[in-house]
Amino acid sequence: MGLAGQAWAGRPVQDRFSSLDPRPDNQFGIESITLSDYAGFGLVYRRGFVGHLSLGVRLEYTYPDVGYGQLQGFNHSVELTGWVKRPWIGPFFSGSFSVGHAFMFSVPSLSAVALGGGVDAGWAWDLTEHLGLAFSMGIRNTVVVRDATQICTLDDQCIVVREAFVPRFALTFGYRF
C-alpha cells in the first residue's frame, strides 16, 4: 500500500481533456457579427495559454445604414476567454475591453471615441484538425470619451459609440495554427 501511494503521488495531475490531442496555440478567425440590429464583420486573433484560457484581439466593422455611408465605425477589443473543456472546443465565456471609433469618411477629424466592455458566452465545434466554427452571444456597453455631436446626431447611426447596452451575436470561422 505504501509503494502504490508513493507512485501515485509522483505522477503529475492532468486535466482529463489534455491527453486527447494536442491543440495548436494560435487561432485566426473571421466573424460575422450583429450589434443590435446592425450587421458587420470582424477579424480576431487568439492565443491559448495556461490550459483553459486564451487572450485575443479583435477588429470589428459595422455596416452603416443606407444613406449614411460616410459615417464609418470600427471597434477594437482585447478579450480574455475561459474555455470549459479546452481551448478552441466546447463552451466558453469571454470578457472584453473595447475602444469604439466612429468618424466621417470625408472629414476624419469629425470623430467620436468610446470606451467599453462586454461579456460573451458561446460554443465552439471542430470541423477538421485545424478548422473550427463558433457561435457566441453577449452584451456590450460603452461610454463616450470624445463626442462628435456634428456626426452622431442619432444614437442609432453611431452604434460603436452608443452609450447603451447593445446585444452582440457572432458566428466565427477559425483556423488554428
pLDDT tens across 120-134, in order?
999 999 898 899 999
Residue 149 has pLDDT above 80, yes or no: no
Q: How much is the pLDDT for 47?
A: 96
Total number of residues shown for the chain: 177
Query: Which amino acid is residue 26, in one-letter code?
Result: N
Tell me the chain's radius of gyration from C-alpha atoms.
20
User: What does the alpha-carbon distance between residue 18 and residue 16 come to, in Å, rounded to a whole number?
Assistant: 6
Distances (CA, A) of 62 to 41, 52, 174: 7, 30, 20
User: What does the alpha-carbon distance between residue 154 and residue 135 come to, in Å, rounded to a whole number?
Assistant: 30
Which residues partner with 102 through β-bridges? 73, 112
Question: Does 78 or 155 have the greater pLDDT score?
Answer: 78
Residue 118 has pLDDT above 80, yes or no: yes
| Residue-wise pLDDT tens digits, 163-177 | 889 999 999 999 999
| Residue-wise pLDDT tens digits, 22-32 | 778 899 999 99
Residue 81: closest CA among 96, 98, 102, 69 = 96
Instruction: Band the pLDDT of 3: cuts 50, 70, 90.
Output: low
Question: Does 12 or 87 have the greater pLDDT score?
Answer: 87
Question: Does 139 or 151 have the greater pLDDT score?
Answer: 139
Instruction: Band the pLDDT of 161: cuts 50, 70, 90.
Output: confident
| Residue-wise pLDDT tens digits, 9-49 | 555 555 555 555 677 889 999 999 998 888 999 999 999 98
Q: How much is the pLDDT for 108?
A: 82
The mean pLDDT value of the chain amounts to 87
Query: Which amino acid is residue 145, in one-letter code?
Result: V
Average confidence (pLDDT) over 111-119 = 94
**What is the maximum alpha-carbon separation in the chain?**
79
Q: How much is the pLDDT for 59?
A: 97
